[in-house]
Structure 1
Amino acid sequence: MEPGSDQWRDEQRRDILAFARRSRRDAGGFAWLDNDGGFDPDADLQLWITARMTYVFALAHLGGDDDALDLAEHGVRALTTTFHDDVNGGWYAEVRADGKPAQTGKFCYEHAFVLLAACAAKAAGAEGADALLDEATTVHRTRFWDSGAGRCREEWNEDWTVLDGYRGANSNMHSVEAYLFAADVTGDAVWRSRALAICERLIGLHARAHDWRIPEHYDHDWTPIPNYNVEKPADPFRPFGATPGHAFEWARLLTQLAASLDEPAPWMQEAAEELFSRAVDDAVDDDSPGIPYTTDWYGSPVVEERFHWVIAEAVLAAHALSASTGEAIYDGFARRWWAETDEYFVTGTGWIHELSPTMGPSARTWQGKPDAYHAFNAVTLPSLPLAPSPAQTIERLT
């Protein structure tokens, strides 16, 4: 069976969902899984994991998995109870087993995934999704969206009275994804306009000015901080330097956004192709499989570990650009990366999340196999049109 073929991806989707089902906690939410699919006893409950798993199971239900709706509703219940701040609104990023928050800040990154989960759950008809979507859109609109900056704020304290000075591209990228879903699911085009505003600034302005390497970290007035986390380069969410996987992810999102617009600006296609090309030039080596996590500002690898999410986004970008341009070069990259995924990342117990530069075991950044979001998207989205969002197009995929 050829890696990346329809049959191969269908089989992988079934395996990914079978592994993901193990993360369901009877007490609520979805657990961080270890390499064998057991609960990691040392891991607190993470909002991003429960939100991502809710999204996955909601789309799986729409795609024809009969038992997935119950799991999506399980996630919705956790988002409206376990993680929810009943006093101040919004959601806690991390909760201990006793139900108390492990940290009390309110982060755009996690809230973007709550919005994404709420949109998918609404489309799936999950019980409780309407109320979850109402609050998620309200919180994003009133707390995180900064109309003056045309981008999202990053972090508030518990009662929304103190705004942190850091601004980040990663959370804005996932907000673009969530906003595309929100525009389709709610019918409110303002979310698509906000997604475009973010892309215009972070990609059309900042990435273009940095030779298509995307600055990830900024201060309060959106001035890039190029040496942010230089002493902690392998941070899982805020690494130092440029992140090729995010260049691929932005390329895909730009292509999807352009496909959703009646008259997309020509710069969007240009930017998507340039981001892809820059990431390939900096991080793809014909003599070495996989794609390193980060590079410096001259394109030299810094963190050379290979993550499953990076190659997943690379292959999705290749499929998206193949669909939008018709150019065979992207099909060639997709075939290469599917073959490498099949050889190195696919196992009988979920996709390996991290490998060393020599493609051996590694846990420098990621312990275990915490979620199925990137892998599920990788094997699902190539079967769907670029627009509208999968919530509208995935019906009876399986």
Structure 2
Amino acid sequence: MPGTTPNLPPRHDSWLDRPSHHHWLESEGQRLLAFYRASRHATCGFAALDEDGRLPADAVPDTMITARMTHCFALAAMRGEPGAAPLVAHGIAALNGELRDAEHGGWYGALPQPGETQTKQAYIHAFVALAAASAWQAGDETAKPLLDDIIEVIETHFWAEDEGRMREGFSRDWREDEAYRGGNSNMHATEAFLQLADVLDEPKWRKRALSIVEKIIHAHARLNDYRVVEHFDAEWNEWRDYNEDTPKDPFRPYGATPGHAFEWSRLLLHLEGGLLRHGETAPGWLIEDARGLFHSACELGWHVDGEPGLVYTHDWENQPVVHERMHWTLAEAAATAAMLLKRTGDTAYETWYRTFWDYIDRFLIDRERGSWWQELDRHNHPSSEVWSGKADLYHAYQSTLLPRLPLSPTMAKAIADGAL
């Protein structure tokens, strides 16, 4: 039945407590890391791989991919992965170099090509901050200037104190402010801010993360039955029909995205854990909203079109719009189920955790070519309607780490402290 907890026999133990399950997660993480070493671009940074794990001849270094790879390899380097530190250095060199706008400041979306018009996007800058913090935590000294620069750019251009959230985008020279505000970019800013708070030991970043969460989740998603509102105008009015004509946009799809509800839920748990760990006030609604987001995503996204899996989006009448299944949504669902199980002890999350990993194992893991299929159609066959190739390590790799880590501190600090 759509959205209901899968009917499995009751369990008196948890996969999270089993060394054999930890071994499985470790092995899968190692397999993913090995696959994505090939994304190192000879020019600079990292670029998207094809389905066979090859770098196409026309591949262009991409800032989001470079930042995500740098972050992941920094985590791996701290865990003793041979060869990971040079990949971190390669990523940081690109983010300090060709991918940075030396004239106007900030970061391009990709290595500039002749005739292209470049803009500055909050989504990209959130990942640059995440990569810089992870690399510096991993001991890469060249990451410190990058960390200082990205913080300055965020505080000068993107963070709006009067709005309590991130602005979305600007022209290359910062003169034009995009008349749009986005939930997705603010979600990843929340992730980056929580890590900055831990790595730099600066509570103001947790305060900013709480401001974002309170305004986007507690003030909007909660009142929409925990359906995450993705799009807003420049005054933060809900923009429900945004991209209605292009529902398969990979970053700003029309409607609600269950995968983001899972991701937000996990971030609320990390935020609550961080606040409590540092003796700061944690609102009681953080856990309430985290649970509400998770259950809404299950109800409205899981098995709602007669096939296993999570639909990419649904409309405001709760009907599926884009039926394709994205690998990242399952990675986030599994990680969030683990975090909720740790936080609450509710065995329903154990059942969901196993269900999501069983789906990943059956449909997403590509044991012939490597990595995971990035996208499946509504019948769970490989698809490329929204994404093509196998560009992304970030979500899948993190899903092999998070179930073995505490709610707080965030991943880079927790690993540096010996949690894993």
Using the size of structure 2 for normalisation, the TM-score is 0.91
Contact 1:215–1:226 (8 Å) recurs in 2: yes
Alignment of 1:169-318 (within 5 A): 169-262=183-276, 263-285=281-303, 288-318=307-337
Cα distance, 1:27 vs. partner?
A: 1.5
Match of 1:31 in 2: 47
Alignment of 1:351-370 (within 5 A): 351-370=372-391
Cα distance, 1:397 vs. partner?
A: 7.0
Cα distance, 1:239 vs. partner?
A: 0.2
What SS class does the counterpart of residue 130 from structure 1 fall into? helix
What SS class does the counterpart of residue 392 from structure 1 fall into? helix
What SS class does the counterpart of residue 240 from structure 2 fall into? coil
The CA distance in 2 between the partners of 1:66 and 1:190, in whole Å, is 35
The CA distance in 1 between the partners of 2:300 and 2:117, in whole Å, is 36
Contact 1:33–1:40 (8 Å) recurs in 2: yes
The CA distance in 1 between the partners of 2:51 and 2:382, in whole Å, is 11
Using the size of structure 1 for normalisation, the TM-score is 0.96
Could you list the per-position Cα deviations for residues 218-268 of structure 1 after superposition, in whole angstroms to 9, with x for gaps in the alignment? 100000110111111010000000000000000000011001113311111
Cα distance, 1:42 vs. partner?
A: 4.6
Match of 1:131 in 2: 145
- Corresponding pairs, count: 395
Cα distance, 1:162 vs. partner?
A: 1.2
Cα distance, 1:43 vs. partner?
A: 4.3
Contact 1:94–1:103 (8 Å) recurs in 2: no
The CA distance in 1 between the partners of 2:104 and 2:301, in whole Å, is 43
Q: Structure 2 regions of 5+ residues with no counterpart?
A: 1-14
Cα distance, 1:299 vs. partner?
A: 1.6
Match of 1:393 in 2: 414
Please tell me whether residue 319 in structure 1 is matched to residue 338 in structure 2.
Answer: yes
Match of 2:8 in 1: none
The CA distance in 1 between the partners of 2:124 and 2:253, in whole Å, is 17
The CA distance in 2 between the partners of 1:371 and 1:42, in whole Å, is 18
The CA distance in 1 between the partners of 2:311 and 2:58, in whole Å, is 28
Query: What code does the residue aligned with 1:133 have?
Result: L
The CA distance in 1 between the partners of 2:317 and 2:394, in whole Å, is 31
Cα distance, 1:374 vs. partner?
A: 0.3
Could you list the per-position Cα deviations for residues 258-309 of structure 1 after superposition, in whole angstroms to 9, with x for gaps in the alignment? 0111331111100000011111111112853211100111221110101100
Query: What code does the residue aligned with 2:70 have?
Result: T
Cα distance, 1:101 vs. partner?
A: 8.1
What SS class does the counterpart of residue 302 from structure 1 fall into? strand
Please tell me whether residue 106 in structure 1 is matched to residue 120 in structure 2.
Answer: yes
Cα distance, 1:357 vs. partner?
A: 0.7
What SS class does the counterpart of residue 298 from structure 1 fall into? coil
Cα distance, 1:45 vs. partner?
A: 2.5
The CA distance in 1 between the partners of 2:290 and 2:363, in whole Å, is 27
The CA distance in 2 between the partners of 1:31 and 1:298, in whole Å, is 38
Cα distance, 1:44 vs. partner?
A: 3.0
Contact 2:70–2:135 (8 Å) recurs in 1: yes
The CA distance in 2 between the partners of 1:115 and 1:293, in whole Å, is 27
Contact 1:92–1:103 (8 Å) recurs in 2: no
The CA distance in 1 between the partners of 2:115 and 2:86, in whole Å, is 26
Residue of structure 2 aligned with 1:340, choices 341, 359, 369:
359
Cα distance, 1:83 vs. partner?
A: 0.5
Match of 1:74 in 2: 90
Cα distance, 1:81 vs. partner?
A: 0.7
The CA distance in 2 between the partners of 1:81 and 1:346, in whole Å, is 35
Contact 2:363–2:380 (8 Å) recurs in 1: yes
Cα distance, 1:135 vs. partner?
A: 0.5
Query: What code does the residue aligned with 2:401 have?
Result: T
Cα distance, 1:102 vs. partner?
A: 3.7
Could you list the per-position Cα deviations for residues 9-41 of structure 1 after superposition, in whole angstroms to 9, with x for gaps in the alignment? 111011000011010112211111000011134
Contact 2:213–2:268 (8 Å) recurs in 1: yes
Please tell me whether residue 11 in structure 1 is matched to residue 9 in structure 2.
Answer: no
What SS class does the counterpart of residue 384 from structure 2 fall into? coil
The CA distance in 1 between the partners of 2:134 and 2:158, in whole Å, is 20
Cα gap change, 1:69 to 1:15, in 2 (>3 Å): same
Cα gap change, 1:181 to 1:93, in 2 (>3 Å): same
